[in-house]
Amino acid sequence: MISPEELAGMIDHTNIKPNATKDDIKKLCKECVEYSFSSACVTPTNVALTYEILGDTNVKVCSVVGFPFGTNKSEIKAFEALVAVEDGAVELDMVMNIGAMKSSENALVQRDIEGVVESADGTVVKVIIETALLTDDEKIGASILSQKAGADYVKTSTGIGYSGANVYDVKLIRETIGSDMGVKASGSIRNLKTALEMIDAGASRIGTSTGPAIMNELLKK
């Protein structure tokens, strides 16, 4: 069985709701510190506040980029990444250009990711490929392009409006990219059983808004 420390270190505790208040973000940060989660993942407007609270802790600040549809122009995504880093983010979860991927515009998809990687300047970049909208061949192609573009992780889902992570997709991504990159499973991970299934399938990071509940299951609180 995984230890509490190991599991907590794999969780990106998340609040990316459009109606998240400052009090909600403060609560998120408090929980991140209490459970020693890997990061607090927030929307761009909440990065500065999150960094203000967590800057002196071991919890990383993560921002989403091009969220939730990935349809922003590449230049906008690159600038958004730059501002997020300036505000204190050390991890970025960017949404791939899904329409370009489905149109077989591979060069555009890769450049889109590369722009964020370059703006991030060493900051960890996770590429959200939104598996629910892709065929298996497209999932494989998106994972390979993320790898070629210099990203650090492939992430399954935004968790907004579409089905989230499943074991099949996590295994497929892990088999495609090998061991050199991370895999982040996110969306619909609300309990310990599901989190452990994703980890067994090859996930190295779990994105969830219910981190405390998952940890409490393991701790049997």
Please list the active-site residues. 93, 155, 184
User: How does strand 182-186 pair with strand 205-208?
Assistant: parallel
Rounded to the nearest 10°, the torsion over CA 137, 139, 145, 151 is -160
Contact status, residue 205 vs residue 12, Cβ threshold 8 Å: yes
- Return d(Cα 104, Cα 171) in angstroms, integer: 23
* Angle made by CA atoms 174, 12, 203, in degrees to the nearest 5: 15
- Return d(Cα 180, Cα 214) in angstroms, integer: 27
9 burial via Cβ count (<10 Å: 0-12, 13-18, 19+): middle
What type of residue sits at position 36?
A: S
Listed residue (60, 206, 185) closest to 132, CA to CA: 185
- Return d(Cα 173, Cα 150) in angstroms, integer: 16
Per the structure block, which two tokens stand in for 64? 């989403």
